[in-house]
Amino acid sequence: MDVIPAIDLLDGRCVRLYQGDYEKSQVFNENPLEVARQWVEQGATRLHLVDLDGAKQGKPINLPTIAKIVQEIPIPVQVGGGLRDFQSVANLLKLGVERAILGTIAVEKVSIVEQLCQAFPHQIVVGIDARNGKVATKGWLETSEVNATDLAQQMESLGVAAIIFTDIHRDGTLSGPNLESLRELAHAVNIPIIASGGVSSLTDLLSLLSLEPLGVTGAIVGKALYTGDLSLSEAIQAVGQGRWQDVPPNLGFSSFA
């Protein structure tokens, strides 16, 4: 399972939000490239970038910063935020971004998702950000009536490469991932699922590792890395070794299968 550091971009800076609230942002570094280099040094094999300005305004805003990171960093980069038309995605991928993450248009413009999957096979990922089981859109500012599992199945049928699932109520809270929702989603589709939101410790990561046989192939980690609650190098080592013995027995791994 991949441990993927998140770099959230707002006004050209590296920040973290609390439950997706733009009014509750915390700046961690004025230089996102410096942050990206730090994660590479600690062993990251992939970076997850979110253009928060883009998500809010409906079009990519932080492209210069993203381009600089892609040019300087020797590992794959996946990017989401504000990608709501074909050309925006095409322009992003031309920068050298490995995978584009779609959100709002997966709900509102399904035909474009299908076109993108055909034009850029294996490079289109859909981020499903859920609030109480319903898909949120427009940078989490709105909540649709679409069920997260139903959307995942539809996206799989269109040919997306993977699903990134975020429980908004867990994001930025260090309260642990929503294992129940992830398990439900993993049973519903056959494409890889990347967990996002709430990871705060090695215990959280190892609990996610128990879902790997179901198709949960990665975990995006944000705030815990920036606060020091979690060391990226230690997390990568722990997940790689699968140190089951380090996890308290009351996590009940058998119940996740």
Q: What are the beta bridge partners of residue 128? A: 165
Distance CA 148, CA 151 (A): 5
Among residues 53, 129, 167, 171, the one annotated as catalytic is 129
Contacts of 241 (CB under 8 A, 6+ apart): none
Nearest to 39 by CA among 202, 225, 181: 225
Contact 169, 19 (CB under 8 A): yes
Distance CA 32, CA 86 (A): 26
3-state secondary structure of 202: helix
Q: φ and ψ at 206, to 5 degrees?
A: -70, -30
Dmax over Cα atoms in the chain, in whole Å?
49
82-103 burial, b at 16+ Cβ within 10 Å, e below that, comes to: bbbebebbeebbebebbbbbbb
Active site residue 51: no
Among residues 8, 51, 53, 204, the one annotated as catalytic is 8
Active site residue 8: yes
Which residues belong to the active site? 8, 129
